[in-house]
Structure 1
Amino acid sequence: MNETTQTQGTLRSEARIARGALHRLRQDLFVGAFAFRPMPPLEDAKVARWVPWLPRKMRGWARWLPHSAIGFFSACVFLGTFGMVYGGPLRGVITVGLCALIAATPMLTLFRPVGAYWLSLGAFVVTLIGASYFDTYGLDPWGAVFPTHLAVMTLVVLRTRPRLAVEMWVVTFGLGAVVSLFDGFESSNWPPVAVFSAVVLVSAAAVRAWREERRQVVETQTVTQEERSRRTLLEERATIARELHDVVAHHMSVIAIQAEAAPYRVENTPPELATSFATIRENAVAALTELRRILGVVRSEDPDAFVESDPEAPQPTLATLDALLTSVRGAGLTVEAVITGAARPLPQGVELSAYRIVQEALSNALRHSPGAEARVEISYVLGGIGLRIVNGVPSRLAKPSPGAGHGMLGMRERVQMLGGEMTADHTAEGGFEVAAFLPVTSTAAGEGTA
């Protein structure tokens, strides 16, 4: 009983596999067989990679090289088959039309690939039957027609999907065997031709599968890179939001304290003025409460390498630059700091952004240029502050660093937020240089001094 049940289960599984194979065969070769599927021209990047010696003005025409090659092949097929036909006028007209059909099928693969396969298979079957009954037909099915049919099948596989290689091979040689059986046409060409065709089609399927896999990998890498850049940018903006809280909270606290103390500094304060100061203080306190609530949402572990572990610690400024340089030197980077101009207090946001830019640039030097020497230049000028961080050539190979380069997004985000300018590029000596200018308005400078 168990053996019978197992046998029935095996038969049902085999039947399901057979139905699935027939369904895929129907979907691939019958449904929408003559649908319009034009082959697009080559991309400009491929043209530049394949024919870099071609003048730029002619690269637009070079995008149609595959189409031109297939058209040239079709013309050669027509001339070759036309040279084989002979016979009476009527038969000559019929055979010329058949030659035109055979030659048109490779060109048709550019627009209707599966339909081109069926037309090519029909031409092959017609010439196979004609070879059995008409001695003067003139077209050899194996020497003239089948090579073109094999080329058509190869083009169809390269244009559609790999599994069509097996399906077209089975249909072609299955139908050819049936025709030969009914016509009594026996040929020793079948086995070697079948094996050779299988090798060609499997190779074409492998190339198609490799191209498809490569395209998917490129798309995945592109999406991953975009997502990583977007995530890095969002994390940097969250960090800026946290730091902005400290900057704004300081000023709002000053406003609240001044508004609370102002009525006591004036004798006989008018009730209207006291009410206005009370309203100012209430709004400042409400703003501080809202800032703290938002801070609780965006606050997370700080990813920066040299920041304090305490999330509530005061934000660093250029006054704490020596501590940063000491940490960097302890990590193995030889760094020199040069300050030009008269050092003066700057707005807290500018000080914080300048500190973070120097910090990130030194972190990149540690990561990408191990053993190199770095130099930090800070210039206090009338309209703002200039930063230049440059490192030399590394003395040893750098370890792979996933996500490298995303720190530049944060630096550019800070500079753009303050309306400044920034450049980052390799130096002529083989090192790397980051230069930024953060503008400071006279009003902001006065507030920073105050």
Structure 2
Amino acid sequence: MNDTTQTQGTLRSEARIARGALHRLRQDLFVDAFAFRPMPPLEDAKVSRWLAWLPERLRHWMRWLPHLAVGFFSMCVFLAMLTSGSGHGALTGILITGFSGLVAAGPMLTLFRPVGAYWLSLAAFVMSVFAYAGDSSPFASIFGASAAVTFGTHLAVMVLVVLRTRPRLAIEMWLVTFALSAVLTALLGKDPGDLTSAGVFCGVVLVSAAAVRAWREERRQVVETQTVTAEERSRRTLLEERALIARELHDVVAHHMSVIAIQAEAAPYRVENTPPELATSFATIRENAVAALTELRRILGVVRSADPDAFAEGDPEAPQPTLATLDSLLDSVRSAGLNVEAVVTGAPRPLPQGVELSAYRIVQEGLSNALRHSPGAEARVEISYVLGGLGVRIVNGRPSRLAKPSPGAGHGVLGMRERVQMLGGEMTADHTEDGGFEVAAFIPVGSAAGEAATGGQQA
């Protein structure tokens, strides 16, 4: 009883597998078989990588190289068919020309309707099988001589279809083609001859084409995954950098709000007989400043909660660095082995704290990159106080030894650019002609901002 039940279950499983295979065969080869699926040209990046030595205009036309190759192959098939059937009368010549066009149309059709091209090529192959088997047929002399060309063209069509669609079509087309060939051979009562060896050869060719197609598809998916991963990593790094900037600028904003609160609280005591309305206004200003400070601390707590070790490398109570503390940064970098020179041009003047902090971080990140990626090189830091803003330039020379792999996502330039854009400035980062690297940024500073910075420091 158990053996019978197990046998019935096995048969049902096999029946389901067979139905599934037939369903896939129907979906792949019969449903929308002649649907219009044009083959796109090659991507410009691939053409530029393979044929970089060609002129740009010629590289643009090389995108259609696969289409031209298929067209050339179809023309060769057509001429070969005409040559193999030459030397007959006018009616025979017309038939040969028509059949040659039918065979040669198969490869060309793969560029637009790949599955339909298979059926068209299969029809031409079946006609050649009938002609080859029917020795007494009047068409044997017309089509029989070109049977080898027809078979080779049909195999080429199946390979092109596999490369254009999906790998499993290789097995499906192979089964349909050689099952039909075996049936026709049996119905015509002919010796199968080399049918088995031809089937094995075609199977090897189609499986190889399917492997190439599967490899290309896997490679495309890997590239897409790497692209998405890189974009996600850049987005995450950008968010982390913005959170870091928000934590740093909190101290800057909190300082100004504290000054406002203290000045508003002390203002009524500096004037004798302060009107009640003025005292109320100052009290309101102080209350709003204190409320703003409370909200800033609450927001900063939310930002810090996502990164509890944000200040693991430094004291969270320490003041934010400015350009006045740049010498200590340079000394630290020199002690790490980087020979760095600092040049300040223009008349140093007080700048907004946000500008000073961003300029300091840009120099810090630029020198860190030089330490990591250009060991043994010399670096130069230029701070330019110019009319309307601040210029920062960090340039290092060629490394004197091989750089060791360094941890991290490698998005330091992204963070620097985010800081500069936040302040409305511009930044460039690129390799120099001598093999080094240069970071140049300009941060605009208006006159109002400069006056505010001066007033804040005096307060």
Relative to the length of structure 1, the TM-score reads 0.91
Please state if 1:139 is matched with 2:140.
Answer: no
SS in 2 for 1:335: strand
Aligned equivalents of 1:397 and 1:169: distance in 2? Answer: 54
Q: CA deviation at 1:78?
A: 2.0
Aligned equivalents of 1:378 and 1:57: distance in 2? Answer: 45
Structure 1 residue aligned with 2:102: 101
Q: CA deviation at 1:156?
A: 0.3
SS in 1 for 2:10: helix
Please state if 1:266 is matched with 2:267.
Answer: no
Counterpart residue identity of residue 126, structure 2 = V
Aligned in 2, Cα 1:409/1:312: closer, same or farther, shift over 3 Å?
same
Please state if 1:74 is matched with 2:74.
Answer: yes
Aligned equivalents of 1:24 and 1:327: distance in 2? Answer: 68
SS in 1 for 2:400: coil
Residue from 432, 438, 445 that aligns with 1:433: 438
Structure 1 residue aligned with 2:325: 320
Structure 2 residue aligned with 1:359: 364
Aligned equivalents of 2:322 and 2:251: distance in 1? Answer: 12
Q: CA deviation at 1:58?
A: 3.3
Name the stretch that deviates more: 221-230 or 12-21: 12-21
Does the CA-based 8 Å contact 2:395-2:438 persist in structure 1? yes
Aligned in 2, Cα 1:51/1:344: closer, same or farther, shift over 3 Å?
closer
Does the CA-based 8 Å contact 1:425-1:432 persist in structure 2? yes
Structure 1 residue aligned with 2:373: 368
What do you get for the CA RMSD once the two structures are aligned?
Answer: 2.5
Aligned in 2, Cα 1:52/1:395: closer, same or farther, shift over 3 Å?
closer
Structure 1 residue aligned with 2:59: 59
Name the stretch that deviates more: 396-405 or 342-351: 396-405
Structure 2 residue aligned with 1:287: 292
Structure 1 residue aligned with 2:173: 168
Residue from 370, 394, 398 that aligns with 1:393: 398
Structure 2 residue aligned with 1:24: 24
Aligned equivalents of 1:144 and 1:429: distance in 2? Answer: 60
SS in 2 for 1:139: helix
Please state if 1:226 is matched with 2:231.
Answer: yes
Q: CA deviation at 1:165?
A: 0.7
SS in 1 for 2:259: helix
Q: CA deviation at 1:176?
A: 0.4
Q: CA deviation at 1:102?
A: 1.3
Stretches of structure 1 lacking an aligned partner (at least 5 in a row): none
Aligned equivalents of 1:122 and 1:34: distance in 2? Answer: 14
SS in 2 for 1:39: coil
Q: CA deviation at 1:95?
A: 4.4
Aligned equivalents of 1:373 and 1:131: distance in 2? Answer: 80
Name the stretch that deviates more: 338-347 or 433-442: 338-347
Q: CA deviation at 1:348?
A: 0.8
Aligned equivalents of 2:449 and 2:77: distance in 1? Answer: 80
Aligned equivalents of 1:53 and 1:196: distance in 2? Answer: 38
Q: CA deviation at 1:355?
A: 1.0
- Give the share of equivalent positions with the same residue, in percent: 76
Aligned in 2, Cα 1:120/1:403: closer, same or farther, shift over 3 Å?
farther
Stretches of structure 2 lacking an aligned partner (at least 5 in a row): none
Aligned equivalents of 2:96 and 2:387: distance in 1? Answer: 90
Structure 2 residue aligned with 1:414: 419
Aligned equivalents of 1:97 and 1:207: distance in 2? Answer: 34
Superposed, which structure 2 residues align to 1:245-264 within 5 Å? 245-264=250-269
Q: CA deviation at 1:97?
A: 2.6
Aligned in 2, Cα 1:319/1:56: closer, same or farther, shift over 3 Å?
closer
Aligned in 2, Cα 1:62/1:379: closer, same or farther, shift over 3 Å?
closer
Aligned equivalents of 2:31 and 2:115: distance in 1? Answer: 10
Please state if 1:130 is matched with 2:128.
Answer: no
Q: CA deviation at 1:388?
A: 2.5
Structure 2 residue aligned with 1:47: 47
Counterpart residue identity of residue 129, structure 1 = F
Name the stretch that deviates more: 189-198 or 379-388: 379-388
Q: Provide the aligned length of Structure 1 versus Structure 2.
A: 449
Q: CA deviation at 1:385?
A: 3.2
Aligned in 2, Cα 1:160/1:364: closer, same or farther, shift over 3 Å?
same
Aligned equivalents of 2:89 and 2:138: distance in 1? Answer: 13
Counterpart residue identity of residue 112, structure 2 = F
Relative to the length of structure 2, the TM-score reads 0.89
Counterpart residue identity of residue 47, structure 1 = V
Aligned equivalents of 1:270 and 1:166: distance in 2? Answer: 96
CA deviations 1:271-311 (Å, max 9, x no partner) are 1111211221122122222222221222254888x984333
Name the stretch that deviates more: 201-210 or 87-96: 87-96
Counterpart residue identity of residue 119, structure 2 = W
Does the CA-based 8 Å contact 1:139-1:145 persist in structure 2? no
Aligned in 2, Cα 1:200/1:402: closer, same or farther, shift over 3 Å?
farther
Counterpart residue identity of residue 109, structure 1 = T
Aligned equivalents of 2:180 and 2:63: distance in 1? Answer: 38
Q: CA deviation at 1:80?
A: 2.0
SS in 2 for 1:389: strand
Does the CA-based 8 Å contact 2:131-2:139 persist in structure 1? no
Aligned equivalents of 2:402 and 2:51: distance in 1? Answer: 35
Q: CA deviation at 1:91?
A: 5.5
Does the CA-based 8 Å contact 1:301-1:311 persist in structure 2? no
Aligned equivalents of 1:427 and 1:48: distance in 2? Answer: 24
Q: CA deviation at 1:327?
A: 3.7
SS in 1 for 2:390: strand
Counterpart residue identity of residue 44, structure 1 = D
Does the CA-based 8 Å contact 2:158-2:170 persist in structure 1? yes
Aligned equivalents of 1:117 and 1:341: distance in 2? Answer: 76
SS in 1 for 2:84: coil
Name the stretch that deviates more: 13-22 or 115-124: 13-22
Q: CA deviation at 1:325?
A: 3.2
Aligned equivalents of 2:191 and 2:452: distance in 1? Answer: 100
